[in-house]
Structure 1
Amino acid sequence: MASRLFLRSALSLRRASRCASSSSSSSFRFVSSSGFCSSSGTPGFHPLPVSDAAVGIEQPAPESSLVVDRSGLFNTPEHSHGPGPSEETPMAKHLKALIRFRGGPITVAEYMEEVLTNPNAGFYMNRDVFGTHGDFVTSPDISQMFGEMVGVWSMCLWHQMGQPEAVNIIELGPGRGTLMADLLRGTAKFKDFSQTLSVHLVECSPALRKIQHETLKCVYKGGAEEKPTADGQNSEVVDDRISQISGVPVAWHFDLDQVPRGVPTIIIAHEFYDALPIHQFQKSPRGWCEKLVDVAEDDCQGLRFVLSPGPTAASKLFLTRRMKWASLQEKAEIEHVEVCPQAMKVTADIAKRVGGDGGGALIVDYGDSKIVSDSLQAIKKHEFVHVLDSPGNADLSAYVDFAALKHVVEDAAVGAAVYGPITQSQFLGALGINFRLESLVQNATDEQAEALQLGYWRLVGDGPAPWLDSDDDVNRVPPGMGSRYKALVVVNDKYGAPVGFQ
């Protein structure tokens, strides 16, 4: 409410000054184990075919109504059937070949991993997918204030840590590098903090690494270059690069395990977890079965969803673990469950690192504090498409199961504590984003001020902007993310709750 009143007042003043100066879900048939179609099913059960196989002022806010973030869970569009085989993507061909080679369908997790990170045709691997000219926007693309507030949080945590002389600041899946650039720019004048930092970016995409290098204005220290490893992949930089934004060293890594241990650590994972591969399970008359991806010869992309004939290895291992944490009501009512084993592993690794070395981690994403049911979605050029359409050309993401992440940390008992989740609006508000907006607007042009205010609304608002006049185009301002995105922190248990989570 406070954010609405603040922004309503700010825009009213801005408008007054201007006036004065100018006078679905897809349907599938259930196929019984005998292969005959059945039109009946369990109430609340959405049947699928059964598989026969075994298991300063920098960025303005976006102006287009077509610009969307990844949190909007829409009814899945219908799977395309008409255009013909000419529109088959290279990834679709690869997936069909993989399924045929395996002799049966693949899991949804395997489908996601191939579609997003396959070295040859993966969605993230060879192009820039972020921002208004990409497929979707993230909070750092919307406003510089997001990265600046994360910088404020990092400095506050550093003080709680006892102001160590050396800190590894790690970002998982840094996108275009915008968040880290804004963080470094915003904290550069606080030399006691900024000069302790060594930046480590965990990124597997060569295309995004190049963009991050440019965004952070990096130069090579001593002229060192990346050296290929025996398998042909680029290793982490031997002689770290330096960001000209604040003079900090920067290094790239393929996974968190490559980042050196033994140094207090601040980890940032913004819209990282939602792209990790998930397994999907569905309750059926045969018990909990796993949702799989199989070949469909009558479809332009040649893919369809099927159900396993019975429990799979993944359902026995991952689903059993997740249901152990579920309430009795959830167990009774839930018909679909998504489980992300990689999210659990990464969170356990983070807990061990901050518990042993000191520090903390900030996780910001969209999700729920309960079992996630059926949230997998695809976005292509700021539009939602069917998950199986145009594989390799569309982003895949799913809601984050924050409840499971909390249980992972609590069960690990490695000297780490977990707090949250709280809404993004609460998190940014506690860090003073209102005051930052007020400061930026005072030194901005009318055009810059409006962009800052619209960006502020997208970050902290809830739903459609309430301050638009009747003659305004409501589609020009996408809904606010303030309550749809959540923040969770994992910190060394000696510190107590960090700022915003007390």
Structure 2
Amino acid sequence: MAERLDRFMARAVAAYYARPATPFGRAGDFTTAPEISQAFGEVLGAWCAIVWQAMGRPDPVLLVEAGPGRGTLMADALRALGQVAPDCRAALRLHLVETSPALRQAQQRALGDAVTAWHDGLETLPPGPMLLLGNEFLDALPIRQFVGRGGAWLERHVAEGGFVERPAADPPPLPAPEAAVREVGEAAQALVAALAGRLAAQGGAALFLDYGPAESGFGESLQAVRGQATGLDPLADPGSADLTAHVDFAALAQVARAAGAAVAGPLPQGLFLQRLGLMTRAAQLAQARPRLAGEILSGAERLVAAEGMGRLFKALAVCDPALPTLPGFES
């Protein structure tokens, strides 16, 4: 029986993250920015402190991470906040959005009593002003794929390890070039729309860093990652590899504005992190640890260089429209 692609992807991703093995780091399936450089989490912690001040220094304030991995980013952010903004650190109530039991255990080991609560989704977060971080979170949310055939859109389903095409009940309201693929991330759009409405009403800001183009377009980006390798069949052996797709930042910005929030970006990650002082912080770390200086500097460079993660990855912020221009997004 054929299963719509987004439903197949949601089931496969849930099975993958339910495994006892952690997927992060050089020994895992992929490496994310917090695992590459501690300066990444530290400058995002400083970003939170500056935005908190612009919010009027609410106490308490929710600090939320969506998809917190092993807790590496948040451990680095909290350490930096304790050093440079102790008032902000004291006001924070840390909430983690995580469904994987294995990853919740890893986060508990990394963060200990700093965690106020875990959540399966944003809908159970308590009310109040909020700062949210999401690094490589949106790319794992399920997508639908439509294919242009004879001037109309057909939708991709999965059956017996391959794609089959079925008439689309709600096709994209766009012309359908022959054989063109259009991806639609309904789950990401719904999440950002709900978050935007909350931030507009209750105050705060959300920062997402992920990969994808700045403008919506055609193309197929679904991929499977396992053992640091890409190019794998995303439909084979569901649950054995991480499935991801490019984030449609333009679509997310549109739904966020429609929900009443302000939007900053998308901006190339390299430019954003350099504006936050990531390379300066990396140089300080390298000076303090001369034996590791080469590794520290090369890791930071990987995050900002166009040929590394600096161009493909983008930064997008959604916030209360009453806030001033957010750090890193200055024109």
Question: Do these two structures clear the TM 0.5 threshold for a shared fold by scoring above it?
Answer: yes
Kept in 2, the 8 Å contact 1:371–1:403? The answer is no
1:164-196 deviation digits (Å, cap 9, x = unpaired): 121101111111111111100111122111000
For 2:279 and 2:37, the matched residues in 1 are separated by 13
1:370-395 deviation digits (Å, cap 9, x = unpaired): 22520000011111211122321111
Code of the residue aligned with 1:359 in structure 2: it is: G
**Are positions 1:401 and 2:294 aligned together?**
no
1:331 Cα deviation after fit: 6.7
Which of the numbers 66, 69, 86 marks the counterpart of 1:191?
86
Code of the residue aligned with 2:220 in structure 1: it is: D
Aligned to 2:12: 115
1:253-301 deviation digits (Å, cap 9, x = unpaired): 111011101x210011110100000000000026100011012xxxxxx
1:214-267 deviation digits (Å, cap 9, x = unpaired): 011x1xxxxxxxxxxxxxxxxxxxxxxx22xxxxx4210111011101x21001
Code of the residue aligned with 2:268 in structure 1: it is: T
Secondary structure of the 1:195 match is: helix
Which structure would you say has the larger Rg?
Answer: 1
Aligned to 2:120: 254
Aligned to 1:284: 149
Q: Using the aligned pairs only, state the percent identity.
A: 40
Note closer, same or farther for the CA distance 1:493–1:139 as it changes in structure 2 (3 Å cut).
same
Code of the residue aligned with 1:454 in structure 2: it is: S
1:93-135 deviation digits (Å, cap 9, x = unpaired): xxxxxxxxxxx30011011111111xxxx00112211111110
Note closer, same or farther for the CA distance 1:410–1:331 as it changes in structure 2 (3 Å cut).
farther
Note closer, same or farther for the CA distance 1:462–1:197 as it changes in structure 2 (3 Å cut).
same
Kept in 1, the 8 Å contact 2:180–2:218? The answer is no
Aligned to 1:246: none
Aligned to 1:133: 27
Q: Across the two proteins, how many residue pairs are aligned to each other?
A: 326
Structure 2 runs not aligned, ≥5 long: none
Which of the numbers 47, 59, 62 marks the counterpart of 1:165?
59
Which of the numbers 305, 318, 321 marks the counterpart of 2:163?
305
**Are positions 1:389 and 2:247 aligned together?**
no
For 1:335 and 1:276, the matched residues in 2 are separated by 22
1:333 Cα deviation after fit: 8.7
1:149 Cα deviation after fit: 1.0
Note closer, same or farther for the CA distance 1:331–1:290 as it changes in structure 2 (3 Å cut).
closer
Which of the numbers 310, 320, 326 marks the counterpart of 1:482?
310
Q: TM-score scaled to structure 1, two decimals?
A: 0.63
For 2:97 and 2:110, the matched residues in 1 are separated by 15
For 1:347 and 1:180, the matched residues in 2 are separated by 21
Which of the numbers 195, 202, 205 marks the counterpart of 2:100?
205
Kept in 1, the 8 Å contact 2:283–2:297? The answer is no
Code of the residue aligned with 1:378 in structure 2: it is: A
More strand by share: 2
My pick for the range that moved more, 369-378 or 394-403, is 369-378
Which of the numbers 449, 460, 467 marks the counterpart of 2:293?
449
Secondary structure of the 2:25 match is: coil
Structure 1 runs not aligned, ≥5 long: 1-103, 219-241, 244-248, 296-302, 324-329, 464-479
1:306-335 deviation digits (Å, cap 9, x = unpaired): 111x22x3x34xx23xx4xxxxxx876981
* Aligned residues: CA RMSD: 1.5
